[in-house]
Amino acid sequence: MRGCLLFLTLAASLMLTSCSNDSNRDKGEVELRFWTMQLKPTFEPYITGLLASWEAQHPGVKVRWVDLPANEIENKTLTAAASGRAPDLINLNPMFASKLASARALRPLALTPESKSLYFPAAWEANTVNGKVIGYPWYLSTSITLYNQDIWERAGLTVGQWPQNYRELATAAKAIREKTGLYGFVPAFGDRGKFLDLLASENVPLLTEDKKHAAFSGPRGVEVLTFWADLFHSGLVPQESLTQNHREGIDRFQAGQVAVLPAGPQFLKMVRQNSPELYSRIGLGPQVGGDTGRVGMQVMNLVIPTASEQHQLAEDLAKHVTSGESQLAFCRIVPILPSVQSTSRDDFFKAPPDAPLEARARALAADQLQRAVLLVPPLYRQSELAKALDNALQRAVLRQQTPQEALNQAADEWSQILASS
Amino acid sequence: MVSNTRVLLEPAGSPFRARTRDVVRIALPYLFLLPAAVILCVFLFLPLGYAFVLSFTDFNALVPPQWLGVANYQRLVTDPVFWTTMRNTVVYLAGVVPALVILPLLLAVLVNRSLPGIAFFRAAYYLPVVISMVVAGLMWKWIFAENGLLNYLLGLVVPWLADHPVAWLSRPETALAAVMVVTIWKGLGYYMVIYLAGLQTIPSDIYESAAIDGASRWQALWRLTVPLLWPSITFVAIVSSISALKTFTEIYVMTDGGPLNASTTVVYYLYQQSFQNLNMGYANAIGMVLFVLILVFSVLNVRAFEKGQAPN
């Protein structure tokens, strides 16, 4: 009897649980599912407020917000899309979004010229795959450079005279290594697509005009690869930077083991919490890049899966979330930059020289944003193309091949991958 | 329960009743097996069959699969990265499995004594098993770092290494070996407990008789402990081979398969192809090869077990 009761209780609980998802539908409400990347719990009040204001304008529509860790959102999106239960609006990075778009899993957007002119052209570029716009640009970031002024001074370098490009950075790294025994910076070759970015920052052409073959194996590409391979062998960067990523560079910077960290202004908060002494001695410089002076931007976007049954509402929510007003409110609580051009020129993004460090960092990044470009546009099967180039970098750095041989092999691999498009 | 069933099935004389009784008698064991069979079908055999079918397709999980025939298997044969990962997997097996068969046995013999505080040592050796692999991987990543503990200790022994630390996880020659060390360290305690359970079933008078006959400790280990523990040894060999073939987390956390695929095993390559490149069809073909590989290893291990048991 007791077993029977237990069984009935369990069965009833199961039924109640399975029905709970449909309770909103039963009430006649439309449910819109919105997934974001790593915003809970820090930005929960902002997001819930934003959604509540939108719901107030749309009676009968309820937004179900789910926040996922950055390293899980791709797999969750993939499995949700494969099972036909994709959310209506997702916050993704352009590389993964382009992967989904290549598989026709995202709904192309029909934009008016007015809405196009609202956002930065480079931010739209990051959301354009095969000529179709697949998402709304949300928040942006441009990397600036953080300097440990103590190390900088100990190396006999002048604070405020920051490197403008990688060659000047390498010269500074040499002085730092010789005078302090420390490393200048961590190149973070372990980041997927790092060499693709390095080539693009030097304006090395990536594809031929017909987009069927690689175009980076010419003299300019070889020169760039030779520079990085030689830098690695000169001992001016840690040997393990070959496989280390940006996160490990941050750890070394916070521990006072490297002098320079390329990072978005948002990382300053982390340094303030983990290493307050270092925080008070940080100098700020512009993004260090290639000889061409090209400044890159990182874009976060909002996309609508093809499977969404509420795509009109989803697009409306995307417009609300990415509006200038909403983004300015978001930028006030986290050091990110807006994708709306007029908003980026707001006084909030300006700071006098004696302003607090984080305000100056925000102003520096916002100033860079006006001339920032999208270094690498979304490419077909981009993760495989990026991997081929990362391997080329590693082969050259480990002296398994000459830079020319390494790039030739990568170019062959690109041709094979692109041939399947 | 049994008596109730008997009462229900008691023959009443009619042929219909007799037939029903026969049907129930035959069907009853299958009914008991049904829940397990359904679970196995839903979660094992159907996915396995579906994966086999998908291995003949071009599939990215987002649009319907396109039939390719044996193209994925042809690609496997000519894919140099696949063969690199096969070689890495074999090296991984050859390094990890013997270590996980022998070292825990020695450890179990060591802690199978009634000494004061022995429970502490047993618990201490078992501790790595309960640590999450992600945490263990991160911890070992710090140990293997250029400015990590291992290089520091080596620098004390060989001063030259203090100025020229080894980037253990960033060199193709050492990356896989470093990952193997973590797998072995993490598995020692688990297999030690299995051996310990086996050792405690061996009566102590056998060792006493052997000692009276003049057997040394080494002879007792080789001539008594190992043969009597043979079922446990085979079990450990099978389980550690299968888990070594499926190793993923330590590679994911420590090396991401690099540098230059030097620490990419077949399972990790399968992950890269499926979830990073969305080549699910090709990944399923890799999965099928892995399935056959595990099957062959299991059969070989079972054969070895039967062979080892015969003299006993």
The per-residue pLDDT for range A38-92, each reduced to its tens digit, is 898 889 999 999 999 999 999 999 999 999 988 788 888 888 877 778 899 999 9
Closest residue by Cα to residue A349 from A335, A339, A269: A335
Kind and range of the H or E run holding A217: none
Say yes or no: A384 contacts chain B, CB-CB below 8 A: yes
The residue-averaged pLDDT of B218-223 equals 86
The average confidence (pLDDT) of chain A is 88
| Rounded alpha-carbon distances, angstroms, from residue A320 to A136, B80, B210 | 11, 49, 84
Which residues on chain B are in Cβ contact (under 8 Å) with A243? 169-170, 175, 255-256, 258-259
Distance between alpha carbon A254 and the CA centroid of its chain, in Å? 21
**A55 contacts: CB under 8 Å, gap ≥ 6:** A61, A62, A63
Q: pLDDT at position B7, please?
A: 47
A391:B167 CB<8 A: no
In chain B, which residue's Cα lies nearest the Cα of A106? B62
Mean pLDDT to the nearest integer, A213-231: 95
Give the per-residue pLDDT at A294: 87
- Smallest CA–CA separation between A335 and chain B, in Å? 29
pLDDT score, position B311: 46
Of the candidates B146, B147, B278, which has its C-beta nearest A103's C-beta?
B278
Per-residue pLDDT at A136 exceeds 60: yes
Judge whether A10 is closer than 8 Å to chain B, CB to CB: no
pLDDT at B308 over 80: no
Which of A99, A100, A240 is nearest residue B146 as measured by Cβ atoms? A240
Taking phi over 0 as left and psi of -120 to 50 as alpha, with beta for the rest, A263 belongs to: beta
pLDDT for res A17: 42
Q: How far is A42 from chain B (nearest CA, A)?
A: 24
Q: Which residue would you say has higher pLDDT here, A20 or B50? A: B50
Cα–Cα separations (whole angstroms), residue B290 to B65, B140, B221: 22, 28, 36
Residue A26, pLDDT score: 53
* Cβ distance of A239 and B170 shorter than 8 Å: yes
Q: Inter-chain contact A242–B62, Cβ cutoff 8 Å?
A: no
Q: Quick one: pLDDT at residue B309? A: 61
Alpha carbons A210 and A87: distance in angstroms, whole number? 35
Burial of A156 from C-beta contacts in 10 A (0-12 / 13-18 / 19+): exposed
Distances (CA, A) of B36 to A7, A287, B28, B41, B42: 19, 61, 14, 8, 10
Contact A243 B63 (CB under 8 A): no
Closest approach of B35 to chain A, Cα-based (Å)? 16
- Determine contact: A400 vs chain B, CB below 8 A: yes
Lowest-confidence pick of A27-31, A326-330, A393-397, B132-136: A27-31
Instruction: Give which of A240, A247, A401 to mutate to test B binding, by max B Cβ within 10 Å.
Output: A240
* Best CA proximity match to A299, nearest among A95, A155, A102, A147: A95
CA distance B89 to B176: 10
pTM listed for this prediction: 0.83
Q: Identify from A243, A397, A409, A421 which residue to disrupt to test chain B contact, counting B C-beta atoms within 10 A and taking the largest count.
A: A243
Cβ atoms of B57 and B75 closer than 8 Å: no
| Residues A74, B275: C-beta atoms closer than 8 Å | yes
Q: How confident is the model at residue A162 (pLDDT cuts 50, 70, 90)?
A: very high
The closest CB to that of B170, out of A104, A242, A391, belongs to A242
Determine whether the interchain pair B275/A75 forms a contact, defined as Cβ–Cβ distance below 8 Å. Answer: yes
Within a 10 A sphere around the Cβ of A372, how many other Cβ atoms? 23
A119-133, A142-156, B33-47: segment of lowest average pLDDT: A119-133
Q: Note which residues in 91-130 of chain A have CB less than 8 A from chain B.
A: 99-100, 103-105
Amino acid identity at A388: A
What distances in angstroms separate CA A23 from CA A10, A14, A63, A304, one per listed residue?
A: 20, 15, 14, 24
Q: Which of residues 165-224 of A touch B (CB under 8 A)?
A: 190
CB atoms within 10 A of CB A129: 23
Cβ-proximal residues to B196 (8 Å cutoff; 6+ apart), any chain: B108, B111, B112, B122
Q: Closest to A81 (Cβ–Cβ): which among B62, B167, B172?
A: B62
Which amino acid is present at B235?
Answer: F
- Minimum Cα–Cα distance from A192: chain B residue: B256
- Interatomic CA distance for residues A419 and A93, integer angstroms: 25
Sequence letter at residue A110: A
In the prediction, which pLDDT does B13 show?
Answer: 63
- Spatial separation of the C-alpha atoms in residues A313 and A30, rounded to whole Å: 10
Q: What is the mean pLDDT of residues A198-203?
A: 92
Closest CA to B258 of A395, A96, A99, A409: A395
Would you state the pLDDT for residue A27? 58
Nearest-neighbour CA in chain A from B60: distance (Å): 7
- Between CA A48 and CA A357 the distance in angstroms is 29
Q: pLDDT (tens digit, 9 = 90+) per residue, B86-112?
A: 999 999 999 999 999 999 999 998 888
Q: How far apart (Å, rounded) are the C-alpha atoms in residues A236 and B203?
A: 63
Residue B228 buriedness (CB in 10 A; 0-12 / 13-18 / 19+) = middle
Between CA B107 and CA B128 the distance in angstroms is: 14
B171-191 pLDDT, tens per residue? 999 999 999 999 999 999 999
- Separation CA A197–CA A118 (nearest Å): 27
Between chain A and chain B, the number of residue pairs with CB atoms below 8 A apart is 64
> Does the pLDDT of residue B49 top 70, yes or no?
yes
Using DSSP, state whether B235 is helix, strand or coil: helix
Instruction: Please state whether A28 falls in left (phi above 0), alpha (psi between -120 and 50) or beta.
Output: left
Q: Highest mean pLDDT: which of A49-53, A123-127, A293-297?
A: A49-53
Residue of A104, A243, A400 lying closest to B258 (CB–CB): A243
Checking if the pLDDT of A6 tops 60, the result is no
Whether ipTM tops 0.85, in short, is no
Alpha carbon of A123: minimum distance to chain B alpha carbons (Å)? 24
CA distance B81 to B91: 15
Contacts of B259 in chain A (CB under 8 A): 242-243, 394, 398
Q: pLDDT of B246-270, one tens digit each?
A: 899 999 999 999 799 999 999 999 9
Question: Which residues is A263 bridged to in the sheet?
Answer: A144
C-alpha span between B55 and B57 (Å, rounded)? 6
Confidence bin at B1 (pLDDT 50/70/90) = very low
